[in-house]
């Protein structure tokens, strides 16, 4: 029970934002956020890489605070008590984790309910936790910042679908632009009388009004929210997609329409069971589908990307210094992983220099992946040798890394697999490798075998001076060593050099300078 005074000054909006300090890298090592939504109440604790969120802890309680709000005008009484109980637990967890303060925000249900402020007061008096109530446009801004956390410099339209509202925000060159909010949440749509026809009419009228405020939005559509993720999971199931990572999953209008037809034409219980979704979450999917169907007609986006990042990640982004915001989330995550898990932290930088001559005309995207792979090349050394290659592949393709397309995850996994294993497992991982084209498969093989060779040199910034020289015109690969390092050359090094040369389709030799 908190005995301090309660202030009703709770609204976090463009004119009154809480004074959240911008933290340096050290202070961002552990940040806790409570998201009080219309459907669920969730605690997320971010830990580790300051620029790329690592989820130290994540717990969600389905409270349905916004259920029947349009009819009653107040929060769902049962959900209200469950939410308070959850927040009390979250406060205890934060204390145990050494987090001095949690940032808690409430969205549509609490801001619209007659008893929203009273609920916040009860939470404060019961748990000591202050809740900031966010208006719709500010919610849109924070959700868009969550996208920028994972996709720096991205552009398009962010669509955050909650239980009681839907927010849209445009992003361009890493900045959040115009924002709008609406009452298109599934819990609101459930309460519209007249069935599907009445709902679609309401959805269309609302979206056309929003479109007139936002203007043309034909770039990428970023989908944020649990109902969108549930729909994407069903789409993955329908297409037998091989990588079950929702973040950065791509769809197009044709795929969405096929999945919506599947939802319409199958009994809910059967589809829910097959997709592994909870009953509470699955019940909202048909309403979300009606919204998405009209969004695609009104805005005609060029493609669709699912985001696991949203409001909570946007609050983390809010607390980052400008210097940290400008960093690459993938590279920052790899740096943290190398520092904590590699046998020789910093070796990745030297290894990157070692393999660089093999990719003289590489694009910036490929160079970025090469750098990431080199930093991750030794982080799984504790795994059993017989399974190390597979562990590397699984870690790269399934771990929580930001700023990565699915094909790039597979590229990293394939390169790291061949860092530890001369031949890739074409049978087990064939469905995932199919996400790459032949040039990407070849480049991953070259990179993996080059790292495999470089690791034998035990190269570090203070280590042996060994270099690769690659001449595509003469089709010759040369390993150049100094007198002081020639003793490193042996049968295994020779075999790995020949294997790399075979992948390049050339001859190989070594020289002593």
Tell me the fold of 11-134.
Nucleotidyltransferase; domain 5 (3.30.420)
Q: What is the per-residue pLDDT across 460-475, written as a single tens digit (0 to 9) for each?
A: 555 557 899 999 888 9
> Assign residue 11 a region: left if phi > 0, alpha if psi is -120 to 50, beta otherwise?
beta
Select the CATH number that applies to the domain covering 137-313 from these four: 3.20.170.30, 2.30.110.10, 2.60.40.1180, 3.30.420.150: 3.30.420.150
Q: What is the per-residue pLDDT across 21-73, written as a single tens digit (0 to 9) for each?
A: 555 555 667 889 999 999 899 999 998 555 777 889 999 999 999 988 888 99
- Which pLDDT does position 6 carry in this prediction? 64
- Which pLDDT does position 336 carry in this prediction? 86
- Which pLDDT does position 82 carry in this prediction? 96
Q: What does the DSSP assignment read for 421-454?
A: -SS--TTTTHHHHTTS-HHHHHHHHHHHHHHHHH
Rounded to the nearest 10 degrees, how much is the dihedral formed by the CA atoms of 394, 400, 401, 406?
60
3-state secondary structure of 154: coil
State yes or no: pLDDT of 20 exceeds 90.
no
Name which of 354, 370, 351 is nearest 467 in CA terms.
354
Could you tell me the pTM of the whole model?
0.89
Domain definitions of the chain by residue range: 11-134, 137-313, 328-512
Select the CATH number that applies to the domain covering 328-512 from these four: 3.40.50.720, 3.30.300.30, 1.10.3210.10, 3.40.309.10: 1.10.3210.10
Q: What is the per-residue pLDDT across 143-190, written as a single tens digit (0 to 9) for each?
A: 999 999 988 888 999 999 998 899 999 999 889 999 999 999 998 999
State yes or no: pLDDT of 458 exceeds 80.
no
- How much is the average pLDDT of 217-238? 93
State yes or no: pLDDT of 366 exceeds 70.
yes
- Which pLDDT does position 453 carry in this prediction? 95
Q: Among 112-126, 297-311, 338-352, 419-433, which stretch is predicted with the lowest mean pLDDT?
A: 419-433
Q: Residue 469 forms beta bridges with which residues?
A: 478
Q: Identical fold at 11-134 and 137-313?
A: yes
Would you call 273 exposed, middle or buried from its count of C-beta atoms within 10 A (0-12, 13-18, 19+)?
Answer: exposed
């Amino acid at each position: 029970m908190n005995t301090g005074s309660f202030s009703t000054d709770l609204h976090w909006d463009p004119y009154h934002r809480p004074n959240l300090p911008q933290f340096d890298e050290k202070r961002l090592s552990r940040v806790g956020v409570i998201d009080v939504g219309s459907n669920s109440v969730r605690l997320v604790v971010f830990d580790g890489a300051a620029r790329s969120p690592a989820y130290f802890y994540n717990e969600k309680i389905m409270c349905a605070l916004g259920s029947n709000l349009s009819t009653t005008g107040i929060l769902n009484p049962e959900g209200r008590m469950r939410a308070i109980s959850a927040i009390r637990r979250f406060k205890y967890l934060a204390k145990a984790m050494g987090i001095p303060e949690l940032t808690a925000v409430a969205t549509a249900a609490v801001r619209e309910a007659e008893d929203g402020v009273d609920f916040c007061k009860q939470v404060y008096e019961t748990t000591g936790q202050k809740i900031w109530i966010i208006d719709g446009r500010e919610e849109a801004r924070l959700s868009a910042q969550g996208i920028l956390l994972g996709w720096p410099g991205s552009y398009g339209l962010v669509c955050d679908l909650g239980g009681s509202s839907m927010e849209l925000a445009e992003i361009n060159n890493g900045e959040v632009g115009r924002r709008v909010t609406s009452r298109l949440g599934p819990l609101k749509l459930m309460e519209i009388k007249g069935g599907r026809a009445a709902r679609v009419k309401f959805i269309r009228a609302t979206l056309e009004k929003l479109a007139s405020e936002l203007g043309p939005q034909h770039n990428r559509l970023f989908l944020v929210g649990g109902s969108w993720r549930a729909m994407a999971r069903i789409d993955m199931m329908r297409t037998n997609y091989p990588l079950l990572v929702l973040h950065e999953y791509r769809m197009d209008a044709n795929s969405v329409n096929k999945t919506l037809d599947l939802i319409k034409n199958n009994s809910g219980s059967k589809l829910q069971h097959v997709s592994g979704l909870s009953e509470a979450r699955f019940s909202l999917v048909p309403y979300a589908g009606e919204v998405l169907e009209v969004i695609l007609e009104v805005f005609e986006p060029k493609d669709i990307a699912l985001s696991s990042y949203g409001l909570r990640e946007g609050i983390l982004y809010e607390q980052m210094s400008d210097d940290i915001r400008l960093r690459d989330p993938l590279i920052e995550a790899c740096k943290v992983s190398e520092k904590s898990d590699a046998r020789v932290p910093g070796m990745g930088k030297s290894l990157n220099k070692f393999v660089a001559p093999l990719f003289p005309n590489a694009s910036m995207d490929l160079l970025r992946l090469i750098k990431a792979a080199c930093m991750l090349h030794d982080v799984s050394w504790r795994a059993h040798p017989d399974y190390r290659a597979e562990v590397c592949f699984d870690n790269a393709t399934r771990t929580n890394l930001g700023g990565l397309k699915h094909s790039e995850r597979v590229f990293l996994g394939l390169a790291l697999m061949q860092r530890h294993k001369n031949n890739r497992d074409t049978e087990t991982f064939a469905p995932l490798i199919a996400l790459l084209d032949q040039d990407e498969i070849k480049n991953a093989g070259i990179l993996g075998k080059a790292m495999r060779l470089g690791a034998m040199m035990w190269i570090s910034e203070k280590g042996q001076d060994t270099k690769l020289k690659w001449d595509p015109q003469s089709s010759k690969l040369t390993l150049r060593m100094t007198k002081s390092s020639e003793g490193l050359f042996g049968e295994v090094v020779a075999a790995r050099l020949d294997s790399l040369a075979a992948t390049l389709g050339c001859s190989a030799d070594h020289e002593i300078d």
